Amino acid sequence: MPALWSDFLCLRADLSVPLAHAYPRSPAPAKTPPRFLHPMKTPPTPPCSPGRSARFQRIATTLFAGTLLAVSAAYAQTSTIYGLTADRQVNSAGTLSDGTPMQAGYSGTTAQNAVVVFQLPTLPAGKEFDAASLRLYFAAPSGTPSFNGDLYALGVSASSAVQSGDYYSGALDAGAVRLQDNLVTPSATSGARVSNAADLTDFLNAAYDKGARAGQYVFFRVSPDVAGLNNYTRYNLYSREYSGGSFYWPSLTYGTADIPPSWVSVPLGGGGYVTGLISDPTGADVYCRTDVGGAFKWNAAGGNWDSITDVIVPTSTPAASALTGTTAIALDPSNSNNLYVATGGTGSLRGIYASTDKGATWTIINNTISMDGNGGFRSYGERLAVDPNNPSIVWFGSSFAGLYKGTKSGGTWTWMQVASTSVPFGDANGGVTFVACDKNGSSTIVYAGVFDSAGTTGGIYKSTDGVTWSKVPGATFARPARGQVAANGTLYATGFGSIARLVRGGSLEDITPAAGVDYRGLGIAQSDTTGNIIYVAEASAGTGRVWRTATAAAATPTWAVQSSTSLNNNGAITRQEPDGTPTLTGYWFGKTSSLLVNPTNPNELWAGDFFGVARTQNAQLIGGTTTGNEAIWYMLQKGQEETVVETVKNAPTGPLLLTGVADVGGFRYNDLTVRPYGTGGNGFGGGNTTSLDFSEANHSVWALGWYGTSAGGSGAYSKDAGASWLYFGGIDRRTISSGTGAWETWDLTTYLAAQKAKGVSTVTLMLATTRTTNYSSTPLLFDSREAADPSLRPKLVFNGTTTVTATSDTYVYGSAATTNYGNAATLGVSHTYSGVTTYDRQVFLKFDLTAAGAISSASLQLHRVTAAAGFDYTVTVYACASTSWVEGDGGTDNLPASEVNWNNRPKPYASSSGRPIDDPRYLTGAGVSLNGGRVAVSSTNPDRMVWMGFGTSTVPHYSNDDGVTWMPCTGLPANINRLAGKSNPSYLIQQVTADRVNGQFYMSQLSSGGGSHTIYRSTDQGATWAAAGTISAGTYNTYRTQIVAAPAANEVWFCDDGVNGTTAGGLWKSTNGAVSWTKMTGISAVRQVAFGKAASGSGYTVFFNGCLSGVQGVYRSDDYGSTWTRLVDVPSVVSIESLAGDRQNYGRVFIGTGGRGVFHGKN
């Protein structure tokens, strides 16, 4: 290298390691591989993937962590490096020319390429290339070329030598990466040509391999895009040898950015149960534990939580996901670097783990004690405690087997179980609910709470020597939940029905402020040396009650209480982060589990509940009831991603992601870097979204399955890509504002056309509204068919010309449940409070379709009555099965007989209880309940869907009217449905899928006999079915299997996890509509298979979660399963419950986890 270049870090590439298929490009015919492939073998060239090398597959695996999403920081530096004198002109005759200018074009029949070479620099640690640009200087062209010059990246090599095989001409080189089409054109004049294509930066990062190939060489080529010419025209490119100086030399300018993490969390915030909070003695380090998301450390500077347990064990540890259920957490009060967690379940993967660096790394110190991190007593605690006088002693109260004492000697921990005669085991799962230590000078007092629902052995036990124990006398306290010691040595404890106080050396006293309450969260102000300031929270969902006393040591403490409305200036400040970011999950104080008082600030109170962590910094105002005199709370949910994600998906166009989540519904993302507020993504909250699908014919049409958290369930349909949803049974919805009278219109085309095609002559429509503005009970009024002006009466308009007026209409009123309003001149609709029907009004309309003829369009038109402005109503039209109801003539005399009222009103399909707003429970006309489960949407007709609801006796149904009505599928075996319910494993079973091209549907009959699965197919949009083929799986798996259609006609894939084994099950593929199946070699235990955008833009990429050659991981194939690349490991304790390839961006895959939300990664 010339001495001058010692001041530069110069570049060049590995022609033995092509990087071609890492980057998007158009398909091209196969050709003889260039010499870059040597000495690696090249596998058979699959469709759309020519020139792929075995070596590159390894590069892809290595690079996955370094080529993720655009989360790069601003430039750390901007540098320019220059091409090497190793550059050459490569000729089709097999010769190399060394001179300047180099030429790209033709000399007679000899084609010419210009190849430039750079040496990869050494970037700062943790950095990658960012915003790179390649600059080449062209002299005037020779002649007038009839072709363009295209810029290609060739590869990376340890040698800087250009070789004759680097030549190419034609529209596309399958063995290289085209960075820029038409870099130079026939009209070009002399001057610089610059390419800053994103693929250039990607190429450099792939070549650099996070520094592994620093100092090696990358190659770029300009070649004609037309092959086989015979002329003397060409583009002239100055080489490094040009004497004019660096202005004319090939140059590469780049910035640097932080290498992004391997997997990036999709932000939502909260959504899962925070079951415990602790702090170090200074308040600087705050930790929380959760039931399914592990443990987190608060990052005060960033205003977010950081996981400290995602990598508590090595990646790919079997059953590692059990460690997301954290039973207890404790700090060493004498050394805040020392942290302990008890985590796991009753299985083999469980234990007490110790960290000496605040959770950065972990060591297991006990793995013999059964845990219950996600059990019914998960919010009790803390069960772990470190002796404040001897940090080598750790106490643990187990859920099943009593109290344990751990002692560290050197590097070895020894554990002793305290005899049940000394400290009883208590109820199973409850057990020893907390352990608390009183420093007591240098003589530690240890307390243990024992839960006994029978009331015989439950209470608080005490030891002054760690060996002998006695039950504390005094007040009855059989069901303790939490206990803490105040600065003055007084123990306070919460439990079901009472709050207890134990002065050091005294007896247990009851200081309960209100009877019959499940007291749970407990926070003590340690900065108050008198032990007087304590806080207690109730565990009842949604009450919002937090109690505070500043006289806890008094004989009868004085308590102030915060209700669900006496906070945040009477609700004027909504649930949000301190920076104003809206909170999208939950409500205030949902089953509050734990409280924490800042040890240095008695007015700073933290609360953990079912949806996250909240904090107030003026807790002294708890109990105030007026604006300016109430505690102001903010949510702290950033980074605390703790949802169970049952389904993830995106379409080739539209939102970047839709999610289906347990407990908090589902969300829609237009931006993967921020919470989905402002995108309509939080409009379908609550409950469990169990399935998502869209129509390939119209990417705006989506459907989902949904199941209520406590009861009920349905599905829903969207025509705006998930921005808004209608529960199945709803036809159309619109938001209406009160004011001057006007006509309001709903589109009923699809539903009424389907009814007419079935021969239906009469239909019943129902109108209901969501909550009105400010909870007003004022109804929205429409003119009825009794209106004095006949032109204002309710009507259907068909095909723009035919008008049909209602044959019957009325409304019903919850406050007058036996009253008929059939003679009313107006129809009223209203809804005030969720779950309360007192002020509800619903409208019913009956129409005769006989005069309609064939329907191409249909609308319902109602004339709104003039009313005071200021009220908004979202009114939905629902379909009802019954048409036999009697309009009546008003009153309560029930004459004519069976005249309709609130009590006997027709029920819409959308709700068997008649309350579709509050209680969606789909019920077919035949009386079959459908809810949750799996929904598939036709790829050719967005109105057609197939629904397999929950319940093994539930027959799959199909709809031809956007999910308003559902009919049973025929031709399927009676026992085909294996979806027992909403919980694991049912949400991992996918038994129905829609062909992504031809409108067919497929359904799996699991374990149909002989260890096989039979696949059924429908060729008439889901109405009738017949067996198509059989998969010989060798397992009787009705537990976790999935059938998923690929984005190609008749291509269907099936996976079987072998019932949790690592060698059984596998992955199968059919290319003929499920008739015959091929099993993928070496693949087993596959839980999910999914498809993403292909590198070339056509075809598809395959992802699966399972084992290849016995190695667990997420794998990707760009050649339809011929070869596979293992992606960088997900965090070790993350369980993958759902998987989706990105249909919009090549290489990206989404994983929905069993407690840590959604992650995505991109190769």
Q: Over 70: is that where the pLDDT of 1032 sits?
A: yes
Residue in the structure block whose two tokens are 């429509």: 765
Cis ω for the linkage preceding 39 (within 30 of 0): yes
What average pLDDT score do residues 750-761 get?
96
If one counts every other C-beta atom within 10 angstroms of the C-beta of residue 513, the result is 18
Residue in the structure block whose two tokens are 């104003």: 580
Lowest mean pLDDT across 389-393, 588-592, 1014-1018, 1055-1059: 1055-1059
pLDDT at position 828, please?
Answer: 97
Residue in the structure block whose two tokens are 């409280």: 595
pLDDT at position 985, please?
Answer: 62
pLDDT at position 71, please?
Answer: 28
pLDDT at position 318, please?
Answer: 75
Q: 37 pLDDT band (50/70/90 cuts)?
A: very low
Task: Provide the residue type at 889 as one letter.
Answer: D
Burial 347-361 (b: 16+ CB within 10 A, else e): eebbbbbbbeebbee
pLDDT at position 25, please?
Answer: 26
Under DSSP, the state recorded for 489 is: S
What average pLDDT score do residues 464-470 get?
98
Tokens matching residue 176: 């290289």
pLDDT at position 921, please?
Answer: 93
Spell out the residues 6+ positions from residue 1080 whose beta carbon is closer than 8 angstroms to its own.
1066, 1067, 1068, 1069, 1121
Q: Do 84 and 117 meet the contact criterion of CB atoms below 8 Å apart? A: yes
As a dihedral over the C-alpha atoms of residue 515, residue 519, residue 522, residue 528, rounded to 10 degrees, the angle is 0
Note the pLDDT tens digit of each residue in 621-632. Answer: 999 999 899 999
Q: Do 707 and 662 meet the contact criterion of CB atoms below 8 Å apart? A: no
Note the pLDDT tens digit of each residue in 629-652. Answer: 999 999 999 999 999 999 999 999
What average pLDDT score do residues 275-286 get?
98
pLDDT at position 52, please?
Answer: 26
In a 13 Å sphere around the CA of 519, the CA atoms on its Cβ side amount to 28
DSSP-assigned states of every residue in 10-77: --B-EEEE--GGGS--------PPPGGGTTS------TT-TT--HHHHHHHHHHGGGS--S---S-S-
Note the pLDDT tens digit of each residue in 320-366. Answer: 888 999 999 999 999 999 999 999 988 888 999 999 999 999 999 99
Q: Do 497 and 513 meet the contact criterion of CB atoms below 8 Å apart? A: no
- Going from N- to C-terminal start, the domains of the chain cover 3-43+51-258, 272-375, 380-512, 645-725+926-1162, 730-908
Note the pLDDT tens digit of each residue in 361-404. Answer: 999 999 999 999 999 999 999 999 999 999 999 999 999 999 99
pLDDT at position 50, please?
Answer: 25
The 3-state DSSP class for residue 207 equals helix
Burial 645-674 (b: 16+ CB within 10 A, else e): bbbbbbbeebbbbbbbbbbbbbbbbbebee
Q: Over 90: is that where the pLDDT of 692 sits?
A: yes
What average pLDDT score do residues 1105-1131 get?
91
Q: Do 431 and 449 meet the contact criterion of CB atoms below 8 Å apart? A: no
As a dihedral over the C-alpha atoms of residue 261, residue 262, residue 263, residue 269, rounded to 10 degrees, the angle is -20
Residue in the structure block whose two tokens are 């019954």: 882
First and final C-alpha spacing in the chain: 34
What is the C-alpha separation between 18 and 777, in angstroms, rounded?
70
Q: Do 826 and 843 meet the contact criterion of CB atoms below 8 Å apart? A: no
pLDDT at position 743, please?
Answer: 98
Residue in the structure block whose two tokens are 């039950």: 471
What is the C-alpha separation between 667 and 672, in angstroms, rounded?
11
Under DSSP, the state recorded for 497 is: T
Q: Do 482 and 380 meet the contact criterion of CB atoms below 8 Å apart? A: yes
Q: Over 50: is that where the pLDDT of 749 sits?
A: yes
Lowest mean pLDDT across 100-104, 183-187, 228-232, 1061-1065: 1061-1065
92 or 66, higher pLDDT: 92
Q: Over 50: is that where the pLDDT of 75 sits?
A: no
User: Do the two domains 380-512 and 645-725+926-1162 of this chain adopt the same fold?
Assistant: yes
Which stretches does DSSP call E strand in 121-171? 127-138, 149-157
Q: Over 70: is that where the pLDDT of 27 sits?
A: no
β-pairing, 335-344 vs 350-355, is: antiparallel
Helices (H) and strands (E) in the chain, counts: 4, 81
Share of the chain above pLDDT 70, in %: 92
Tokens matching residue 252: 């590469």
pLDDT at position 776, please?
Answer: 83
User: At how many degrees (to 10) do helices 198-208 and 54-63 cross?
Assistant: 100
pLDDT at position 726, please?
Answer: 94
Fold of 272-375: Neuraminidase (2.120.10)
pLDDT at position 1134, please?
Answer: 87
Fold of 645-725+926-1162: Methylamine Dehydrogenase; Chain H (2.130.10)
Q: Over 50: is that where the pLDDT of 657 sits?
A: yes
Closest by Cα among 191, 223, 203 to 116: 223
What is the C-alpha separation between 810 and 806, in angstroms, rounded?
10
What average pLDDT score do residues 1045-1060 get?
94
Q: Do 914 and 997 meet the contact criterion of CB atoms below 8 Å apart? A: no
Note the pLDDT tens digit of each residue in 811-843. Answer: 999 999 999 999 999 999 999 888 889 999 999
| Residues making up the chain, counted from first to last | 1163
pLDDT at position 1122, please?
Answer: 96
65 backbone dihedrals φ, ψ, rounded to 5°: -70, -20
Q: 314 pLDDT band (50/70/90 cuts)?
A: confident
The 3-state DSSP class for residue 7 equals helix
The chain-wide mean pLDDT, for the chain, equals 90
Q: Over 50: is that where the pLDDT of 180 sits?
A: yes
What is the C-alpha separation between 608 and 675, in angstroms, rounded?
21
Determine the CATH number of domain 380-512: 2.130.10.10
pLDDT at position 680, please?
Answer: 43
Counting beta carbons within 10 angstroms of the beta carbon of residue 376, is it exposed (0 to 12), middle (13 to 18) or buried (19 or more)?
A: exposed
Cis ω for the linkage preceding 382 (within 30 of 0): yes
Tokens matching residue 324: 């997301």
Q: Over 50: is that where the pLDDT of 603 sits?
A: yes
Q: 678 pLDDT band (50/70/90 cuts)?
A: low
